[in-house]
Structure 1
Amino acid sequence: MLFERVESEGLAHYSYIVGDGNEALVIDPRRDCDLYQKMATSAGMRITTVLETHRNEDYVVGSVELSARSGADIFHADGHLDYRYGEAVDDGMRWKVGRFEVEAISTPGHTLGSMSYLLRDSGGEPWIVFTGDDLFAGDLGRVDLMGMERAGEMAGLLYDSIFDRLLPLGDGVIACPAHGAGSVCAASIADRKWTTLGIERKRNPKLQVEGKDEFVEKMAVELEMPPYFKEMERLNMVGAPLLCTVADPLPLSAQEFAEAAGDEFVLDNRTELAFGAAHLSGSLSIWLAGIPSFAGWFLPYDRKIFMVDETGDLDKAVRLLRRLGFDRIGGHLSGGMIAWHTAGMESGTINTANVHDLCRRLDRQEKERAWILDVRGDDELERSGRITGAHQIHVTKLPERIGEVPRDRPIYIFCGSGLRSMMAASILRREGLEDLTVILGGLAGWSSARCPVVR
């Protein structure tokens, strides 16, 4: 038998391949889908079926791509939507995989047509259930995607799905969700890699309720809605373009880059220290590992993206962008910033300072007009503490709240490490703010008497 979970870093997306005999099926594949075919081929199998648990919002599902490569049939959930590919799943549909059988279970709540898939063992007993975005380890799927006016209704559907359809399958059934910790599809997914329905029944905080009314009250809350969700929803109904039709980014000389990227968007995925030392005017700083979490918040779909990359892993950066539907990558700066400077091109800088330096400056009152911008999230402030006098604007909210940042005072930008601070600084610099200093190292070592940390 073949059974593997594939984790897509950054997005915390889980997909699964299940096979037996000479056949295999894949659940919620990612767009760069070579890995599934390699797994199946190595096991002497061919992929015959692709199943989707719901219309995804946070990444481009790879069903169309995988079907084009393998000839597999696609079955999608949310059949009430106008899909342009595949066949809609109905409750109770079954697929044979060698000695095993997979059954579709209607579990609305996260979306109206969400489906879970139950894998039965060779004896017909429930064994593994793939719960999509309904049930996670330690959390449940968000119910606000259709707007808060329908969140209560969706929460009620989710209650019925969890308590009437999933949990009765048995405590010993393994639960395989579509996401792990760090996903934007729920507020607080636990970091345990594997779980069961019994573990979730006992330990999932969202399931510790007296009844449906308490459940709905607990679940019907509004979470952050990244702007790229709309594009993901569109692509995941019409089917994303096949990757073989998407052009690879061209290596460009400094002069070519300057000419081509002039009216487009420049993404710099180097480290915060490299970006602070020298960067192209108007470029946005998102370090390589941060692309899955932040590109969808700040990058446009209607402009070409040009990249400054010195990580040695441009292919990975492009792959991460394409998982979010950013296919218009026009080129990358060949030779990096060295080539840019040796061509006589201008660059900008952003100051950096360590946390001890800022503490000393604050306590000596040399910077009485200093304005500390904390771009961490509320959950981080609860865990690690708040700096007295700091102004908190989460980095994802910065573009819409940029008017709150003064232009006539020195701005010290603070996060947990310096990476998001440099990203925030690049956003502010693009808006014309000049006196910026990124504080490196986060809260570690903070010792300001004038601006203590309050926990």
Structure 2
Amino acid sequence: MDVVVIETPQLGDRSYLVHDGSVALVIDPQRDIDRVESAALAAGVRITHVAETHLHNDYVTGGLILAEKHGAAYLVNGADPVSFARTAVADGDVFSVGKLSVRVVATPGHTHTHLAYVVREVTDDGGTEAVFSGGSLLYGSVGRTDLVSPGQTAALAHAQYSSVRRLADSAHPEAALYPTHGFGSFCSIGPASHQDSSTLAEQAAHNHALTDPSEEHFVAELLSNITAYPAYYAHMSPLNAAGPAPADLGIPDSVEPGELRRRLLAGEWVVDLRHRIAFAEDHLQGSVAFEYGHGSNFTSYLGWVIPWNQPLTLLGSHEDVGKAIRDLARIGIDSPDAAVGPSGGAALEVLAPGTPRSGYPHGDWSLLLKERAQDDVVLDVRRPEEFAASHVQDAVNVPVYELLARMTELPEARVWVHCATGYRASVAASLLDRAGRDVVLINARFREAAGAGIRLVP
């Protein structure tokens, strides 16, 4: 058995190609299936089965598209209310993929109908095993249980406690563990560990879901760690249940300068992909900054901040626009328009000559110390739990994903905006600038604030 890991760090997820050297099973593929097909081609194997652990909440699946294209069986829980033909599977089912035996294990918790798959080589000595756990047992923790509905969160947390124990007993302790979530995904919860591989035995020794002897304590701890998740999650499971169409990853023709100007004046969403400092110094008035190149942040925060199903225009280099289109397709934002030009500030004059420009100051913590006036506002756009742990004295906390709805809460004064690294702050600063506010971007890490002389509390 060989397992090829197909990572999507932009969303904190992994898909898997599992094969015997001839035929393959694909587990939890993302919508841009060309990556899976390239992996299969490189391994010299034919895709005969595609399996889902659950109806995903953080991305649009490529499972249906991949299965139809390759004539593969599409394995989906028979209890899932889907609108397409599938091979319905349930707890205890066993099927063969070439020389591999695949057993289905019900693992409710992340969702009610969540499944895991135990894959074993069929050999005389029993063969090696691997466990594909989806959003059930993760490295160091488990998948969050609040994505179905608030009223079912606690019950699903109890189910998660039981499920991971059952899953840990479903294979040999030395079986490799391959979760889908937990690599930065908002689908994970609790003390997830940053590691590349693990086994059931290792998780049994260190994962709090398996070491905590009290189910009530585990559930209480899990519920206390629940935090906000991206707004676009609400749209993922329905899209996946309906059967997603193939993604169009082509780069469209660049919009005409006059049309780009019209969109900006009309208040449409024009997303500038350039570096945050380049944007701060000079940008098209009305555009917003979602710097590309920080792939782990771009997709989640754009899908979280910008209202769903709004006209979207990407502004940037051909390379960045192409990558952004792929990333956004994974969360169901299809076929955005684009203003494609050369890299750097020259793109603005090429793409929209004569369009009004804007900019705002930026600097590190020392600038705040030197130039902050008494009535100025320090805006912390980190998540509430980050703010609670430590923050600048007298700072106001409005998470970046709530800023559009809560901007009127901010006093009419100059706003100094910061986050943990500068990325979310740059998004927030651009939203404030778009709204005509006087803003300064603090492009610095929060952990550097105390050393720069900034007073923090608590």
TM-score, L = length of structure 1: 0.91
- Residues in 1 aligned to 2:274 and 2:386: alpha-carbon distance in whole angstroms: 24
One-letter code aligned to 1:322: A
Pick from 229, 254, 257 the counterpart of residue 257 of structure 2: 254
Match of 2:16 in 1: 16
- Residues in 2 aligned to 1:281 and 1:85: alpha-carbon distance in whole angstroms: 48
Matched-pair contact (CA < 8 Å) for 1:55–1:78:
no
- 1:441 matched to 2:444? The reply is yes
CA displacement at 1:47 relative to structure 2: 0.4
CA displacement at 1:132 relative to structure 2: 0.5
One-letter code aligned to 1:241: A
Structure 1 residues 399 and 205: CA distance shift in structure 2, 3 A: farther
Question: 1:307-343 CA distances to partner (integer Å, 9 max, x unpaired)?
Answer: 1113733211110011111104123243475354362
Match of 1:419 in 2: 423
Paired residue secondary structure (2:195): coil
One-letter code aligned to 1:225: Y
- Residues in 1 aligned to 2:388 and 2:374: alpha-carbon distance in whole angstroms: 27
Paired residue secondary structure (1:345): coil
CA displacement at 1:138 relative to structure 2: 0.9
Paired residue secondary structure (2:375): coil
Paired residue secondary structure (2:258): helix
Question: 1:236-274 CA distances to partner (integer Å, 9 max, x unpaired)?
Answer: 111222125x76422123224224665432111111111
Match of 1:312 in 2: 319
- 1:266 matched to 2:270? The reply is yes
CA displacement at 1:70 relative to structure 2: 1.8
- Residues in 2 aligned to 1:78 and 1:278: alpha-carbon distance in whole angstroms: 54
Match of 2:381 in 1: 375
- Residues in 2 aligned to 1:20 and 1:164: alpha-carbon distance in whole angstroms: 27
Q: Which runs of 5 or more structure 2 residues have no equivalent in the other structure?
A: none
Structure 1 residues 169 and 60: CA distance shift in structure 2, 3 A: same
Paired residue secondary structure (1:109): coil
- Residues in 2 aligned to 1:375 and 1:276: alpha-carbon distance in whole angstroms: 17
Matched-pair contact (CA < 8 Å) for 2:318–2:340:
no
**Mapping of residues 378-417 of structure 1, within 5 Å:** 378=384, 380-381=386-387, 385-407=390-412, 409-417=413-421
CA displacement at 1:450 relative to structure 2: 7.7
Matched-pair contact (CA < 8 Å) for 1:37–1:46:
no
Matched-pair contact (CA < 8 Å) for 1:27–1:53:
yes
- Residues in 1 aligned to 2:250 and 2:262: alpha-carbon distance in whole angstroms: 19
Structure 1 residues 449 and 164: CA distance shift in structure 2, 3 A: closer
Structure 1 residues 357 and 261: CA distance shift in structure 2, 3 A: closer
Matched-pair contact (CA < 8 Å) for 2:143–2:182:
no
Match of 2:145 in 1: 143
Matched-pair contact (CA < 8 Å) for 2:305–2:400:
no
TM-score, L = length of structure 2: 0.90
Pick from 125, 134, 137 the counterpart of residue 136 of structure 2: 134
Match of 1:108 in 2: 108
CA displacement at 1:302 relative to structure 2: 2.5
Q: Structure 1 segments of 4 or more deviating over 6 A?
A: none
- Residues in 1 aligned to 2:313 and 2:404: alpha-carbon distance in whole angstroms: 21
- 1:176 matched to 2:178? The reply is yes
Identity %: 29
Match of 2:201 in 1: 198
Matched-pair contact (CA < 8 Å) for 2:381–2:425:
yes
CA displacement at 1:108 relative to structure 2: 0.8
One-letter code aligned to 1:157: A
CA displacement at 1:5 relative to structure 2: 0.8
CA displacement at 1:137 relative to structure 2: 0.5
Pick from 205, 208, 212 the counterpart of residue 215 of structure 2: 212
Match of 1:186 in 2: 188
Moved more, 119-128 or 274-283: 119-128
Structure 1 residues 339 and 145: CA distance shift in structure 2, 3 A: closer
Paired residue secondary structure (1:372): strand
Match of 1:153 in 2: 155
One-letter code aligned to 1:109: G
Matched-pair contact (CA < 8 Å) for 1:22–1:98:
yes
CA displacement at 1:73 relative to structure 2: 1.8
Structure 1 residues 332 and 88: CA distance shift in structure 2, 3 A: farther
One-letter code aligned to 1:346: P
One-letter code aligned to 1:403: T
